[in-house]
Structures are given as C-alpha cells and as structure tokens.
Amino acid sequence: MAMIVLQVILLMLHLVQNVDCIWLNLPKSGRKCVTEEIHNNVVVLADYVVISDVHIHPTPSITTKVTSPYGNILHHKENATHGQFAFTTNEDGQYLVCFWADDPNQGGALSVNIDWRTGIAAKDWESVAKKEKIEGIELELRKLEAAVEAIHENLLYLKSREAEIRQVSETTNSRVAWYSILSLGICIAASIAQLWYLTRFFQKKKLI
C-alpha cells in the first residue's frame, strides 16, 4: 500500500516537472551529505524520496537537514519518506544537504532520490505557459532562450571570478618579490649587527 502511494506521489511529481533521478545510497548508520556552491539570489528547488532496496514495509523514514553557508538551517524534517523544499539563497557559499536514516536497526540499505534544481532549471514553465498562453514549439523555444541567457550570465560570473583570482595571484607575486628582498635585507642586517656586537664585546674583554 505504501509502495503504491509512493508511486502515485512520484507520478504526480514527474508530471509537474521534468524528472531527474539521481540516487544516493544511505548507509544504515551515519549520514550522507551533498554540498553545492551557490551564489546569491538563486532559486533552489528540491524533491526527495526514499526507496528501500529490500521492499521493507513500511518504508524506513529519514531525517533531512539543509544548512546555509553561515549555519542557518533552511529545512529540517524528521520521520519522512518523501518531501520537498524550496528557498532563494541569501548567502554566497556552500549549501549542505544531509540525510540520516532514522532507525539504524531497520535492516537493508536505503536509496534516496534527489531532484535538485537551481536557477534556470527551477523555473516553473507550466505557469509561464499558462500566463502567456504559449505552448508546444513556442514554449520549447522560450526554454532554449532562457537557457542561452543563463549561459551568458554564467560566463559573466566566471569572468568576474577570474578577475578576482588574477588579483590575488598578482598580489601574491609582488609580495613574494618584496618579502624575499626583505628577507635578504634582514639576513644582512642580522649578520652586521652580530659582527658589530661581537667586535664591541671582544674589545671590551681586551681580546682584540
């Protein structure tokens, strides 16, 4: 019965959006985490479903936790066999999604299916099609146009990142040069100071 319900839910999810089934194996105890580096102001949409490999009934439940790079918990759900979450990122950095098996004694390995979409892939084309009353080929071409815009944005982002890296590289380069010359200077200064001090010392001791 639970399997049928799960399949119906999967069916509904699949009809609403394009499906992507990336599966992860959950170990019996311990957790599985996935991270992604996302920048600011990006829409993130995710669906997850748990399937047990060994047809255990009822399906074992899991705990899910989504953490932002600064430690805020964006989604926390326990004792679920399926769920979804959506958020818009406020912070730049690594977003962490973790899954735990709730009951380590429920035998059999668990598989979690994650449908994780960010940015352009998270766009709801159904509502766009309804609002603008376009369908079929025109809708497909719209999707392609949005994809091209996303590519352009990504390119600009990569360009700005490259500029940052180049900045750091050039600073490091100039620092290496200056610090090495300074280290040579300190070496020479230290040896001169030593010689001067020891000469004075020996002259005081009337050995020279």
Total Cβ atoms within 10 A of residue 128: 14
Residue 106's Cα: distance from chain center in Å? 30
Total Cβ atoms within 10 A of residue 49: 21
Instruction: Considering only residues 54 through 83, tell me which ones interact with another protein, judged by CB under 8 A.
Output: 55
**Token representation of residue 118:** 């960010």
Q: Is 31 in the site for another protein (CB under 8 A)?
A: no
Altogether, the residues listed in the chain come to a count of 208
CB of 57 to another protein, least distance (A): 13
Contacts with 2 (C-beta within 8 Å, 6 or more apart), sequence order:
57, 58, 59, 81
Q: In whole angstroms, what is the distance from residue 208 CA to residue 205 CA?
A: 8
Instruction: Considering only residues 157 through 186, tell me which ones interact with another protein, judged by CB under 8 A.
Output: 157-158, 161-162, 164-165, 168-169, 171-172, 175-176, 179-180, 182-183, 186
Point out which residues bind another protein (CB under 8 A): 3, 6-7, 10-11, 14-15, 18-25, 33-37, 51, 53, 55, 94, 111, 116-119, 121, 137, 140-141, 143-144, 147-148, 150-151, 154-155, 157-158, 161-162, 164-165, 168-169, 171-172, 175-176, 179-180, 182-183, 186-187, 190-191, 193-194, 197-198, 201-202, 205, 207
